[in-house]
A and B are shown apart, each in its own frame.
Chain A
Amino acid sequence: AQSVAQPEDQVNVAEGNPLTVKCTYSVSGNPYLFWYVQYPNRGLQFLLKYITGDNLVKGSYGFEAEFNKSQTSFHLKKPSALVSDSALYFCAVRGTGRRALTFGSGTRLQVQP
């Protein structure tokens, strides 16, 4: 079985401040980890992924995520938040031998001007 936990329903941050959206996972074998973003009334868009190699991965729109194997975490980060980053963020995982992703419950990010 594979699962993802996003412990925060909502994260509030002021524009210009750093942001972190948390994600922990559970899989059999190696984890393949993803972040997706959903803007209002839109489908999900891919942000970034960790497959192997460097634990810090960089993605679209200035986002990055850090893979921590010992803590089974893959937190999404950005050094300086923008109001336009306000959206719903989903973490997802795929374990070895599985074809489909399992998604977390989502975290709503609100960036205040």
Chain B
Amino acid sequence: DVKVTQSSRYLVKRTGEKVFLECVQDMDHENMFWYRQDPGLGLRLIYFSYDVKMKEKGDIPEGYSVSREKKERFSLILESASTNQTSMYLCASRKDRVSSYNSPLHFGNGTRLTVT
């Protein structure tokens, strides 16, 4: 079974802090994704990566950056945390070949970030 592990389940940070959210997958998947989940808005894509050191902006990248130095690890960085970034953050992975674009996403359990 694919395992996607997010390093923190709950995180509380102060406004202006630099925040790192870490995600690791153990199935050698090429694609990794960061979504945020907010009530009434569903999941919105922040960034995704289709290979090491490769990244692409999603629908709401402002205020975020990402790092993918190794295939198994995808980090989401909040450069200067703000209260409107209080949310549930979900990491996901998926195999990447054209025929596998329709493979299921495998999600971590999420990190609930509160910015005060």
Q: Which residues of A contact B92 (CB under 8 A)?
A: 43-44
A49 CB contacts on chain B under 8 angstroms:
102, 104
Contact B101 A94 (CB under 8 A): yes
Given contacts A9-B40, A34-B104, is CB(A43)–CB(B48) below 8 Å?
A: no
Q: Is A105 an interface residue (CB 8 A)?
A: yes
Among B33, B40, B101, max chain A CB count under 10 A is at B101
Question: Contact: B4 with A104, CB < 8 Å?
Answer: no
Q: Which bracket fits the contact residues of A?
A: 20 to 34
Q: By the criterion CB–CB under 8 Å, are A42 and B109 in contact?
A: yes
Q: Given that A43-B4, A49-B104, A51-B102 are known contacts, is A103 also in contact with B43, CB under 8 Å in the complex?
A: yes
CA distance A41 to B40 in the complex (A): 17
> Considering the complex, which residues of chain B in the window 26-41 have a beta carbon less than 8 Å from any beta carbon of chain A?
31, 33, 35, 40-41
In the assembled complex, which residues on chain B have CB atoms less than 8 Å from the CB atom of A34?
104
Residues of B within 8 A of A106 (CB): 42
Q: Which 8 A-B pairs have the closest CB atoms?
A: A43-B107, A46-B104, A103-B43, A105-B42, A44-B107, A43-B109, A103-B42, A106-B42
Measured CB to CB, the residues of A under 8 A from B are: 4, 6, 9, 32, 34, 36, 41-46, 49, 51, 90, 92, 94, 99-106
